[in-house]
Amino acid sequence: MSNIVAIVGRPNVGKSTLFNRLLERREAIVDSTAGVTRDRHYGKSDWNGVDFTVIDTGGYEVNNDDVFQGEISKQVQLAIDEATSIIFMLNVEEGLTDTDYEIHEMLRRSNKPTYIVINKVDSSKEELDATEFYQLGIDKYYTISSATGSGTGEILDDIVRDF
């Protein structure tokens, strides 16, 4: 029984940056594996000695909320079907969008363990801005900087503990 963590969210929020950070020193699965597609990347990672697979979703290039009904909702649904845990990544630079609400609603209905992660929190200024995301009606979010890795340990502690 393997643990699979999928990273979902709008384009440009920083999903691939986190994915690459989680895969540091580990090898991405590039081919010869069932389920590898052009729009999703799979890799192996571990935290506190616990192995898991990470899925980076995306590949859609259009940075426009109109793509939601197509690519983004498809990727969120695939993540719900495939993963044991989901990281829902949001971008503090851009703030909340309608698409974020739609993704959140899909995840909420799925009952999958979901970790809401506000990315690009590079300083205390963004930490304050991140409180906007409580408007999603959530009790808890994590703030991270995928670019520096700050905050990623706390979320990994919780994800791995909940497996």
Which residues belong to the annotated binding site? 9-16, 56-60, 119-122
Please tell me whether residue 136 adopts helix, strand or coil conformation: helix
In sign, the C-alpha dihedral spanning 52, 118, 60, 101 is positive
Antiparallel, parallel or unpaired: β 4-8 and 85-91: parallel
**Rule CB under 5 A: is residue 16 a binding residue for Mg ion?**
yes
Residue 17 beta carbon to ligand GDP: minimum distance, rounded to whole angstroms: 3
Residue in the block written with tokens 């719900």:
80
Chain Cα centroid distance, residue 48? 20
**Rule CB under 6 A: is residue 16 a binding residue for ligand GDP?**
yes
Q: Which does 146 bind (CB under 5 to 8 A by kind): Mg ion, ligand GDP, none?
A: ligand GDP
CB closer to ligand GDP, 71 vs 82: 71
CA separation for the pair 67, 98 (Å, rounded)? 12
Residue choice 5, 14, 100, 141 for contact with ligand GDP (CB under 6 A): 14
Residue choice 53, 75, 99, 119 for contact with ligand GDP (CB under 6 A): 119
